[in-house]
Amino acid sequence: MENPLKKFFYTSVGFAALAAENVQKITNDLVAEQKLSEKEGEKIVTEFLNDTEAQKQALQEKFQELTGTITEKLPFINKKENNSASLEVRVAALENKLETDVAKNIEIVDC
């Protein structure tokens, strides 16, 4: 469950990075065409990057809150990781028991 949420979060961050690149490019073009002063262009880009960073932080906090809420309401999500380790141990024990039982059966048949 956490994996799709992480993908969503990283996709959002990727879109923000693309938007920042586009703002930078457009601003550079406007400065090159002298439709915008260099100071104004720098101010626009800086404000955009600051706003984007603030939104990223807010999104990250909401993401953490949401994943915490989901794992509280759906406790099997955390147990799944713990269960896989315990299941591996149980399967290994059953495999050993099966091998022992098979070996005993072979001994009985040989007699």
- 61-111 pLDDT, tens digit each: 888 888 777 777 776 665 555 566 778 888 889 888 888 877 777 666 555
Q: Are residues 47 and 25 in the same domain?
A: yes
Q: Are residues 22 and 37 in the same domain?
A: yes
Q: Are residues 40 and 81 in the same domain?
A: no
Q: Please tell me what DSSP assigns to residue 37.
A: -
Q: How far apart are CA 6 and CA 13, in angstroms?
A: 11
Say yes or no to pLDDT of 1 above 80: no
Q: Are residues 60 and 10 in the same domain?
A: yes
Percent over 90 (pLDDT), the chain? 0
Tally of structural domains, the chain:
2
